[in-house]
Structure 1
Amino acid sequence: MLRSLKALALALVVGGAPIAADAASDGRGPVTNLPLPRFVSMKAAEGNVRRGPSLSHRIDWVYVRRDMPLEITAEYGHWRRVRDRDGAGGWLHYALLSGSRTVIVEKDRLVVLARPVPDAPGVAEFGLGVIAALGKCLPDWCEIEAGGHSGWAPKSALWGVGRDELRD
């Protein structure tokens, strides 16, 4: 409930600073010209999530998980508005973020498979909340790697990849 209230406060109060629109009319960020929304990951081991896009804005909380996937929903100067898998978020400095893609496993005891077909043999089992590196993605499957194990998982069991996203 507290996170929901913080997210609502973030949406309503931005400290008077001019805030970039969530996406330009063509779905691109006004600063980077990259697609909005888009997924990234935490480069830093710790990042202050602020109420607005500057150091003068209050810190609402701190992300403390390196490689955690986040979704960028807006840009303003060197700041990116992000949200996590729970829908909570705020503004982070771009230097804390990486374009390296990761996902969070959203299913307990997810068996990753040798090939992207339902009857393929399992090669590993990942627990709920595991952060995995994201590789290739097909319409319904993505290749992921964590803890030295890799395999294919259904997109529906992952957060940090778009449902229609394809990756080579």
Structure 2
Amino acid sequence: MNLATRWIFPLLLGMSLLWGATLAHAAQMIATATEGAHLRSGPSTRYKVQWELSRGFPLQVIGNKSGWYKVRDFEGDTGWIARSVTNRQAHHVAKVEGLNIRSGPGTSYRVLAKARYGEILRTLGRQGNWVKVKLGKVTGWTSKRYLWGW
């Protein structure tokens, strides 16, 4: 057995598995399961509440500790949220003011409603670069490039 077979290949395999796990973890998305969920400065209720979040607010998991997720929001702000007040129900946030919600997946479809910057949209499906969303009582389509979430 040569050096490459005994040490280098297993080392590279381990590094690639670790890299893959890191990428998978970095892309994990969650949403708030309750209205008024607290985003805190640290991983316990002893830490200061930074924000209260609306139900369905999407967050990207960037770490975890003892029943708490360290998360990032659509503006890049970070904080900690209790795992117990989250779920994996897909949502998006409007990244622009006046986001058009259309009757179909394309710009030729009529506008049914407009979302405000930061407004939460329930994700219902996808078709190419279009996302089917629910905003209040309106169900329609919007361009993926103006959204953040999953």
Q: TM-score, normalised by structure 2?
A: 0.75
- CA–CA separation in structure 2 for the residues paired with 1:133 and 1:116: 16
Map of 1:40 onto structure 2: 30
Runs of 4+ in 1 over 6 A off after TM superposition: none
CA offsets per residue over residues 108-165 of structure 1, 9 Å max, x none? 222222221221222222232321101112331101111110111001111113xxxx
- Of structures 1 and 2, the larger Rg is shown by 2
> Per residue, is there more helix in 1 or in 2?
2
Map of 2:21 onto structure 1: 27
Provide the aligned length of Structure 1 versus Structure 2: 133
Q: CA RMSD in A?
A: 2.2
**Partner secondary structure for residue 95 of structure 1:** helix
Percent identity reads 20
Map of 1:155 onto structure 2: 144
Which ranges of structure 1 fall in alignment gaps of 5 or more residues? 1-23, 162-168
Q: 1:132 aligns with which of 104, 121, 139?
A: 121
> Per residue, is there more strand in 1 or in 2?
2
Query: Contact 1:124 / 1:150 at 8 angstroms: preserved in 2?
Result: no
Which ranges of structure 2 fall in alignment gaps of 5 or more residues? 1-17
Describe how 1:5-154 pairs up with structure 2 within 5 A.
Answer: 24-27=18-21, 35-56=25-46, 58-59=47-48, 61-154=50-143
